[in-house]
Structure 1
Amino acid sequence: MIQLLHGDCLTLMKEVEPGSVDLVLCDPPYSSGGTHAGDRKANTTAKYTDRDFDGAARLPAFSGDNMDQRSFTAFMRWVCSELRQKTREGGILEIFVDWRNLPAMTDAVQMAGWVWRGVIVWDKGTSRNQPGRFRNDCEYVVWCSNGDLPIDWKAAKGIKAMPGVYHVPMVNPKQRFHQTEKPVELLERLLAICPPGGTVLDAFMGSGSTGVAAVRTGRSFIGMELSDQYFEIASSRIREENERALEDF
């Protein structure tokens, strides 16, 4: 089952049955960039791409990326609270963020009632060169559960824990469908915690990479996107991936 919804996620979530989602995997706007509050006010093309060297500068800018940290925390608390109502007991939340707003995100998920379980590290293997400074190679995934997450040790015999660090190269900017696109390979690996055939919800669908990963791994997908342009891109990508999956079935 694939359900793609166009509009504001806080409104669209009314269309999702409470308790019907197994995993929420989201990549919301980070409201980040730079090291000072004023840097957040630039548009995403200026913050995340380079017109001379970065092919992603050709892609549409996206909204919702200019909040200060207090507003970001409040907004994510609101969104994560609504997401929790749609997630079954014991379901999982995985939500991307960068180092600047990592503390805000961990506050927001806990205020929304999720049980914060830890932070997954995505090692991109690259960063902007800042001579004489430590590299910012990584982005992060805050992961949580909706209530208890007991382990059945008898049933889990022989099953290994999933990695806490993923070394997956970022998508080449010239091959991206979105300015801040995440690799499908990484998303597929993050979906491993979702039961086979389960339902994945992405409230910030962007260009649809999570939907592509869900189709490839045989899971149902609910995607939401505000941008007209990115909704069309996501719909096309997910539809094509689903057609390929049906042909291979």
Structure 2
Amino acid sequence: MKPYYERENITLYQGDSLQIIPSLEPATVSAVITDPPYSSGGMWQGTRSMPPEAKYCQDGKTLGRPTFSGDNRDGRSWAFWCSLWISECRRLLTDGGYFLSFIDWRMLPLCTDAVQAGGLVWRGLIAWDKGRGARAPHKGYFKHQCEYVVWASNGPLRKAVHAGPFDGCHHYPVLQTDKHHMTGKPTALLEQLVGCVPAGGLILDPFAGSSTTAVACVRKGLRFVGIEQEEAYCEISARRLDAEFGQGRLAA
């Protein structure tokens, strides 16, 4: 299996996670940190089935960011799909390894179910406050300005000796200059989250997107293996990582 991108301790594969994860070496991953397609964005199947640019972009404006697939499952099929890839990830985790997955409020209950169905020990939630610029349908609403990270462990959780305890709430606004994917997360936030792993550890992201987790790993001295299905985002990732490694190529 040839990587799409490989440099130093960073490896990115293009393809379906459920096909690639089984080929990776078991019990080698310190943490899975990922942002899977939510299949969210509406209360009904008709709205969930809209393309990502209609669900996640202001007025459908993509600002040049490519679309992506796999975001139109209904709730039951999404939870089943999650339990499949999570159980495969569990096989790769070391004993006590971390699992962190971003999710929104609509899909949060299904995500916590899938984590436990996949054989992990659900430990809690990390809140990400995106700031007061978050949208609301009208003035009667509380703003949906938080997303969440469901975190779990592969069996008993060991005491960390390199750092910790780790913050359970983070405030990072979404900056368009730092957003390389339609649903991209702030690089500074990922730098905080990867801190649960000591330097030299291996992090897996089965839904790498624009490889923000990989960039955080480069900055923190961590090894990284990622999987991304969309070739357009693999190319964006390659440009970002080359720029991070100092090759002078502009990040997309």
User: TM-score if structure 1 supplies the norm length?
Assistant: 0.90
Counterpart of 2:231 in structure 1 is: 228
Task: Give the Cα–Cα distance (whole angstroms) in 2 for the partners of residues 150 and 218 of structure 1.
Answer: 21
Structure 1 residue 57 displacement after superposition: 4.2
| Identity between Structure 1 and Structure 2 (%) | 43
Counterpart of 1:214 in structure 2 is: 217
- Point out 4+ residue stretches in structure 1 off by more than 2 angstroms: 34-37
Structure 1 alignment gaps of length 5 or more: 245-249
Partner of 2:100: helix, strand, or coil? strand
Equivalenced residues, count? 237
Task: Give the Cα–Cα distance (whole angstroms) in 1 for the partners of residues 27 and 178 of structure 2.
Answer: 36
Aligned 8 A contact 2:179 2:185 in 1: no
Structure 2 alignment gaps of length 5 or more: 1-8, 248-252
Task: Give the Cα–Cα distance (whole angstroms) in 1 for the partners of residues 234 and 179 of structure 2.
Answer: 15
Question: How large is the RMSD of aligned CA atoms in angstroms?
Answer: 1.7
User: TM-score if structure 2 supplies the norm length?
Assistant: 0.89
Q: Which amino acid is the alignment partner of residue 27 of structure 1?
A: D
Partner of 1:147: helix, strand, or coil? coil
Q: How does 1:39-78 map to 2 (within 5 A)?
A: 39-51=47-59, 54=61, 56-78=62-84
Corresponding position: 1:15 with 2:26: no
Aligned 8 A contact 2:178 2:186 in 1: no
Q: Which amino acid is the alignment partner of residue 168 of structure 1?
A: Y
Identify which of 165, 174, 195 aligns with 1:161: 165
Structure 1 residue 238 displacement after superposition: 1.6
1:63-94 deviation line (CA, Å, top 9, x unaligned) = 01001110110000001000010111110000
Q: How does 1:1-249 map to 2 (within 5 A)?
A: 1-51=9-59, 54=61, 56-125=62-131, 126-129=133-136, 130-151=138-159, 160-172=164-176, 176-243=179-246
Partner of 1:189: helix, strand, or coil? helix
Partner of 2:99: helix, strand, or coil? strand
Counterpart of 1:247 in structure 2 is: none
Q: Which amino acid is the alignment partner of residue 182 of structure 2?
A: Q
Partner of 1:107: helix, strand, or coil? helix
Aligned 8 A contact 1:203 1:224 in 2: yes
Task: Give the Cα–Cα distance (whole angstroms) in 2 for the partners of residues 37 and 113 of structure 1.
Answer: 28
Counterpart of 2:4 in structure 1 is: none
Task: Give the Cα–Cα distance (whole angstroms) in 2 for the partners of residues 238 and 138 of structure 1.
Answer: 28
Task: Give the Cα–Cα distance (whole angstroms) in 1 for the partners of residues 117 and 215 of structure 2.
Answer: 31
Task: Give the Cα–Cα distance (whole angstroms) in 1 for the partners of residues 128 and 179 of structure 2.
Answer: 18
Structure 1 residue 220 displacement after superposition: 0.4
- Change beyond 3 A, Cα 1:48–1:237: same
